[in-house]
Structure 1
Amino acid sequence: MFAKVAAVLFGLALLLHLIGETLGSFITPTTLLYAGLLFVALHLSGFGTWTGYRRGRR
């Protein structure tokens, strides 16, 4: 899930960088890039994954 969020943030950052726009004074392509890197790091460290708990016999 975090990888999908990161992909969307990277795509939005690239689009904003190509057209030279920002989303207000706080959200810039660089901010979106850092947010995407944060979500990639969370994905690679294992957050957001659930292997499930099995009960009973195998």
Structure 2
Amino acid sequence: MLGIVAAVLLFIAFLINAADISTNDVFTSTNVMLIGLALLALHVAGIGSGWAARGRRR
């Protein structure tokens, strides 16, 4: 789930940067990109994946 959100945020950051849209200081393309990269790092670390790595019962 976090990977999908990260991909959407990175795409929004790309659109803001490519279209040269002027935004306020909070939603600059760099800030949105950094939030997306942080979510991607959390996804790669296994946080928010939704599946728990548990041993099998016999």
Moved more, 31-40 or 21-30: 21-30
Structure 2 letter corresponding to 1:34: L
Q: What are the equivalent positions in structure 2 for 1:1-58 lying under 5 Å apart? A: 1-49=1-49, 50-51=51-52, 58=58
8 A contact 1:22–1:29 mirrored in 2? no
Change (3 A) 1:36 1:21: same
* Aligned-residue offset at 1:52: 7.1
Q: Percent identity?
A: 36
Query: Unpaired segments of 5 or more residues in structure 1?
Result: none
RMSD across aligned C-alpha pairs, in angstroms? 1.9
Q: TM-score, normalised by structure 2?
A: 0.80
Moved more, 10-19 or 20-29: 20-29
* Aligned-residue offset at 1:21: 1.3
In structure 1, how many angstroms separate the alpha carbons of the residues matched to 2:13 and 2:22? 9
Structure with larger Rg: 1
